[in-house]
């Protein structure tokens, strides 16, 4: 084969290769698939966080009814036992999605006074539950009670650039603090 013929043959093969469309779908999919899968997992994780948050909200409201209806106060249990019973009831309500313990904060304020609650996430993005308490109103008071629950939801997709963490953001142990609140005014009993 002459040199001119081999050059022409090489040109023909290159021209055919350039015009060929076989395998282009696989290459395009390989380029788009990682972004699509990351987006899909981010959507799933965000929806799970919102669903779990709503689930915790329902659990706090349902368990808070024990305080509203004086079931715990009238049970004859000590304050520590009442707190344990409240936590156990809450855990039973949310155990499908969450594992215990769930941190709770129960406070009361006399009617007409301001209720001061603090954010349990400090300025550095760390969770601090040292200010959480369990205070039930005394008998024959018409106090306002605020019940809050906190759960640290683990995140998995945050390493892909999508980060909804509010605890340990940017670390390998980042989490989303889910919080739920209910407030009610108790009548004297």
- Name the residue ranges covered by the structural domains of the chain: 23-185
- Residue 109: how many other CB atoms lie within 10 Å: 17
Query: What pLDDT, on a 0 to 100 scale, did the predictor assign at position 35?
Result: 87
Q: How far apart are CA 75 and CA 62, in angstroms?
A: 18
132 or 160: which carries more pLDDT confidence? 132
Q: How far apart are CA 11 and CA 165, in angstroms?
A: 56
Q: Take residue 28 and report the two structure tokens written for it.
A: 């395009």
What average pLDDT is seen over the chain?
86
- Residue 104: how many other CB atoms lie within 10 Å: 21
Q: Read off the pLDDT of residues 49-97 as tens digits, 9 standing for 90 and up.
A: 999 999 999 999 999 988 888 888 888 888 899 999 999 999 999 999 8
Mean pLDDT on 121-126:
86
Q: Take residue 126 and report the two structure tokens written for it.
A: 């760390």
């Amino acid at each position: 084969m002459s040199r001119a013929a081999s050059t022409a043959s090489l040109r023909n093969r290159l021209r055919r290769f350039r015009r060929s469309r076989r395998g282009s779908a696989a290459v395009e999919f390989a380029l788009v698939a990682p972004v699509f899968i990351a987006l899909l997992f981010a959507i799933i994780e965000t929806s799970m966080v919102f669903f779990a948050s709503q689930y915790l909200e329902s659990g706090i409201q349902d368990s808070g009814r024990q305080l509203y209806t004086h079931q715990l106060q009238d049970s004859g249990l000590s304050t520590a036992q009442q707190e344990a019973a409240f936590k156990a009831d809450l855990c039973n309500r949310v155990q499908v999605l969450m594992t215990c313990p769930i941190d709770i904060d129960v406070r009361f304020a006399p009617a007409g006074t301001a209720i001061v609650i603090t954010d349990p996430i400090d300025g550095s993005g760390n969770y601090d539950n040292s200010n959480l308490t369990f205070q039930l109103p005394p008998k024959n008071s018409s106090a306002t009670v605020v019940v809050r629950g906190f759960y640290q939801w683990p995140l998995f997709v945050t390493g892909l650039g999508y980060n909804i963490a509010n605890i340990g953001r940017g670390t390998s142990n980042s989490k989303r603090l889910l919080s739920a609140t209910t407030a009610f005014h108790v009548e004297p009993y």
